[in-house]
Structure 1
């Protein structure tokens, strides 16, 4: 379902009718608010950043990053829900000439085939069993280190990782030890989605082990910066205004 912005020619493809009301104040308005909520609205990139969007859904964060942070951002989007993924690949605009990537997998601290608990209506589908399950399916699970090793060259830095894994954020970070060494910023939704508890403490501890410090937060969303990377080699973009 294609939705056009009220104030411009900008449009996106929604994965289900229930999401349409999200855009009643305009698509660009929602994308701008999303980046602000994730604490990245003041990041400035001098050169095209590489951004990994974990739990990309239909690509709203990635579209906002390309619209508001840098129009030539390279996007690596990961979304396990097949319905949302179908909209994602249309919104990101994949082509044989694009460096963007969309992957229909889940991330964790190990690879294999695991149960995925679907709740399409709320967007709370997860590798963790929850009370809102609509159905269960088997899905391919990888580690972020494996994905990055396949897609990026060894010398390439990652400007920003956005992480939203419906309670599985600690496992995603555990499977990303090498990736975090070359990542400048991580912004994460660490709300109470792990059996009613937040994942903030676990994720903060894991990120601190890799040299990250907390920069700011809005609600349950937190921005962390890699101080080890900024004190040595770094991407040519890192300014937080």
Structure 2
């Protein structure tokens, strides 16, 4: 019996895998992607027809497919994902929807072009990282695979796609290097919207402090808005306000889970120029 099945989200369909203990399992149990329901709404609200969207850390393609459903056949979606297993499942969904304007790039995003190692999580397929740390277990050991890395500035220059409207970034601690590799893109696109994961332990694993990461965003010209899944609302924050929220949330009993104790707590930010 096949492990694959097709779930209809209404605007698009996804081919999911029963052996995927993360996204696929949640959709199978709940019929929806509940973990980031508010973020999905915010992401969708930023999309318009014919836009160009970059999905950095596309995993199995949920946000790319959602973007395609809004930008239409004349928009462009560039989806960057280094895991061959995730790409294989993602491409099945592209075929299922007969989408022709999602371009899957088999690479992780960083600050230069080259090669690196992808450390594979033994738990969740969305947790693979360029850094040797697993935030479900706190362990530093696991299998790995050789992958290609690219910078966004280099990729867009080579492909002639300099204009970008929206960037979705979920790269498991590599956010700082990704931002370093898209400085020209951020400067060139005066009305750019960025939605990024903010995982404090992840940026520490990558060698910087959470405050520095947030200040990089503001110094790049972005206003920060907290996409608060807990409160199901989005609101403007300063760097210090976001750091205060981070400390408070990690201490909250409702969020004091085993994953938080291992440094797993994360949230997302809407960044608007």
- Shorter-chain TM band: 0.7 to 0.9
Kindly report which structure 2 residues correspond to 1:40-51, keeping only aligned pairs within 5 A, or say none: 40-45=43-48, 47-51=49-53
Distance (Å, rounded) in 2 between the aligned partners of 1:7 and 1:34: 14
Structure 2 counterparts to residues 134-213 of structure 1, below 5 A: 134-154=142-162, 157-181=163-187, 182=189, 184-191=192-199, 192-195=201-204, 200-213=210-223
- Select the residue among 26, 43, 47 that pairs with 1:22: 26
Match of 2:72 in 1: 71
Alpha carbons of structure 1 residues 104 and 6: separation in structure 2 relative to 1, 3 Å? closer
Which range moved further: 216-225 or 97-106? 97-106
1:4 aligns with 2:51: no
Q: Is the 8 A contact 2:12 2:65 kept in 1?
A: no
User: How big is the shift at 1:51?
Assistant: 0.8
What is the CA distance between 1:94 and its match in structure 2?
A: 10
User: 1:13 aligns to what?
Assistant: 15
Question: Secondary structure in 1 aligned to 2:202?
Answer: coil
RMSD between superposed Cα atoms in Å: 3.1
CA contact (8 A) 2:193 2:270 kept: yes
1:113 & 1:6 partners in 2: Cα distance?
Answer: 36
- Superposed displacement of residue 41, structure 1: 3.7
Aligned residue pairs: how many? 219
Distance 1:164 1:140 in 2: 17
> Structure 1, residues 141-170: CA drift from partner, whole Å, max 9, x if none?
11111111123344xx21110001111101
Among 125, 128, 131, the alignment partner of 1:128 is: 131
CA change 1:152–1:216 in 2 (3 A) is: farther
Contact 1:144 1:176 in 2 (8 A): yes
Query: If each structure's helix is expressed as a fraction of its own residues, which one has the higher value?
Result: 2
Cα drift, residue 71 of structure 1: 3.3
Distance in 1 (CA, whole Å) between partners of 2:149 and 2:96 is 22
Q: Structure 1 residues 8, 221: closer, same or farther in 2, change over 3 A?
A: closer
State the 1:15 CA deviation.
5.0
Give the structure-2-normalised TM-score: 0.69
SS in 1 for 2:132: coil
CA contact (8 A) 1:170 1:199 kept: no
Task: Look up the SS of the partner of 2:147 in the other structure.
Answer: strand
Deviations 1:160-202 (A, max 9, x none): 1000111110111011101112261000011132456996533
Q: Which has the higher contact order (CA 8 A, sep 6+)?
A: 1
Q: TM-score, normalised by structure 1?
A: 0.77
Render the CA deviation track for 1:82-134: whole Å, top value 9, x for unaligned. 10011122223499x93321011111112222222111531211111112542
- In structure 2, relative to structure 1, the CA distance for the partners of 1:21 and 1:98 (3 Å cut) is closer
